[in-house]
Structure 1
């Protein structure tokens, strides 16, 4: 893994820092953030130094970001995916994952404390993402960071693992001894799904590219099929209780459906709600998507006796705590191939677009804690104060 450290930055003016009276809850009114002012290529991303940090709402936590990951969703949103939803809300801050320290908490937050290291992920539709020095997440979107991994390593995990968790645990309800097929096990969600299923005691097969075979086998897959060189249906023996399709094209859907036992679950990450809303607008697109999903569910239930689902990441505090436990036990990880500084966000997106990064993400490293502590000491006796 190659790491590029961020450049030092000058401490922000004292007027930018605010502190709750009688506590160490110090946070900023503005910070650096990467904005998406319009849709397009990596060149549209803008690093700005004075982006407002909103007041915390009940149950919210201000996280001083140490590392964030670049998800496929980020590059798709930048290019216009979900335009019907997000265009009226521009400029956006992209980013779902974060690892860092708690900088401030709302009064109702009980499970976390200021200064604690945490990691977590925002919902896919969040408008203020994590590409910023300070991110805001709800209490149930965060968990203490696994002590066994760095911030860079931790930032790669939550969104992908929670997406896989929702599919396997909430939808398919996988159990020990069942058979799972992961289509696209080389990507972050697929790789997380393999490890989560193995931890439960499932027998896992997966498809992936040649470069990922050794990695998915080391993660516990019992069979890895190179989809570029082998006939998947001819190579795989037997059928499965669940199929997680991270690719979601017509051919992988056909294969997944054909390889399921009756009573099994087919889950795809490529639901069509956003695409149809972009095509027809929200008032028409969402009802069309709902009708299409219902049609497929009925069709596959009566023709094949299986459950069909579009699956998305959702906040799940129980799931995130289990993900943390598995990470600390060495049973779950998402490899990080390269890191970038926040000032290199365009280069990071270019690398992701060109697929020069084998693993799904790159990480952005933020300013060192030393500068925050320096600022805090400077402003300790002369700050504006307000309650959270």
Structure 2
């Protein structure tokens, strides 16, 4: 395996790059070359929380030139993790079983591929894998591309950092990459009580948007404290009635027929409606990749044309995508105290089954994080 234990840095006194030994790098010299296996939570088949297995001798693959080996300290439990465990995305993941779940991570760099110059062994980092990764982060040592990681602010704990990137990158792609929100825009976030929705509120507020959100009653104060100008309790109020005017951008994190109808009606002409509940994976699971993906493409095109002609709006399905620019903005907002996803409960990674069961049974509504000792 090839990895760098020397950090490449710029020496301002001579104006060129020089190779210098970093203390963190020196202390780990040779570590990765003799450590080739680790503990990981493995999904051998689809099912309930009981199918998850903790294996102590899972191979650590060789690093590619642009990859980073991260010693995990905390990994969060995302809805995508529990859905994949239950069989969502089986058309992609079933031929690859067993897989390791997990997308978010916060930890320390243990080794880097020879092309990585932005990170060094010993750096504290956080980040997230893309949704279809098969070697996830529920493990002592995870592998991510350099663009999937950024430096963790020293003021933020590993637990808090691990709760943010996947959800915030999902929101960032929708609002900043797709809708390209600007200062003064009116933004509606449907489902502001979840991690993606709550991240979206904060990202839009940071840009200078006027934000309205829907959420359950227990999340109202949290949404308002994050900067939303109005928080509608969807259990007792009709968002179409209580909100005034239409919105430049609507992000629907719920994706039911009712929320889509309301969101479409509340999007102004020329605006963007985006839903997280695209049907590509579900149709591929039902009909197979060969039929399901073309069907989903046709369905999306049909809806885009329908709403463009009926309402004059852009309609899209939005998904998380790793993005170095987005992750860098998320880091800056986190460091400035303008972005946070509250963690309701932590579990040791050895209790991963209990954590998944608690989420399945809705015993814990907020964010859950697995701590890795």
TM-score, normalised with respect to structure 2: 0.92
Measured after TM superposition, the shift of residue 268 of structure 1 is 0.5
> Which residue is equivalent to 1:362?
368
Q: Does 1:212 align with 2:219?
A: yes
> Which residue is equivalent to 2:44?
37
Q: 2: distance between equivalents of 1:306 and 1:315?
A: 26
> Which residue is equivalent to 1:383?
none
Q: How does 1:278-357 map to 2 (within 5 A)?
A: 278-357=285-364
Measured after TM superposition, the shift of residue 191 of structure 1 is 0.1
User: For residues 279-308 of structure 1, what are the alpha-carbon distances to aligned partners after superposition, in whole Å with 9 as ceiling and x for unaligned?
Assistant: 100000000000001111111111111001
Q: How does 1:180-329 map to 2 (within 5 A)?
A: 180-329=187-336
Measured after TM superposition, the shift of residue 363 of structure 1 is 1.1
List gaps (5 residues or longer) in structure 2.
7-20
Measured after TM superposition, the shift of residue 20 of structure 1 is 6.4
> Which residue is equivalent to 1:380?
none
Q: 1: distance between equivalents of 2:191 and 2:75?
A: 23
Which is further off, 25-34 or 96-105? 25-34
**Residue 365 to residue 332, structure 1, CA distance change in 2 (3 Å):** same
Q: Does 1:87 align with 2:94?
A: yes
> Which residue is equivalent to 1:63?
70
Q: 1: distance between equivalents of 2:287 and 2:256?
A: 21
Q: 1:113 aligns with which of 113, 117, 120?
A: 120
Contact 2:71–2:110 (Cα < 8 Å) also in 1: yes
Which is further off, 349-358 or 106-115? 349-358
SS at match of 2:184: coil
Q: 1: distance between equivalents of 2:191 and 2:363?
A: 17
Contact 2:4–2:111 (Cα < 8 Å) also in 1: no
Q: Does 1:148 align with 2:148?
A: no
Measured after TM superposition, the shift of residue 245 of structure 1 is 0.2
**Residue 315 to residue 19, structure 1, CA distance change in 2 (3 Å):** closer
Q: 2: distance between equivalents of 1:231 and 1:313?
A: 29
> How many residue pairs were aligned?
349
RMSD over equivalenced CA pairs, Å: 1.3
SS at match of 2:127: strand
User: For residues 20-66 of structure 1, what are the alpha-carbon distances to aligned partners after superposition, in whole Å with 9 as ceiling and x for unaligned?
Assistant: 69953423301000000000000000001111010001200000000
Q: 2: distance between equivalents of 1:75 and 1:271?
A: 18
Q: 1: distance between equivalents of 2:155 and 2:303?
A: 43
> Which residue is equivalent to 1:165?
172
List gaps (5 residues or longer) in structure 1.
1-17, 368-388
> Which residue is equivalent to 2:18?
none
Higher relative contact order, chain-length normalized (CA < 8 Å, sep 6+): 1
**Residue 19 to residue 268, structure 1, CA distance change in 2 (3 Å):** closer
User: For residues 67-120 of structure 1, what are the alpha-carbon distances to aligned partners after superposition, in whole Å with 9 as ceiling and x for unaligned?
Assistant: 000000000000000011100000010000000000000000010000000000
User: For residues 328-356 of structure 1, what are the alpha-carbon distances to aligned partners after superposition, in whole Å with 9 as ceiling and x for unaligned?
Assistant: 10100000000000110000001111112
Q: 2: distance between equivalents of 1:172 and 1:333?
A: 22
Q: 1: distance between equivalents of 2:40 and 2:109?
A: 18
Q: Does 1:96 align with 2:91?
A: no
Runs of 4+ in structure 1 displaced over 4 angstroms?
18-23
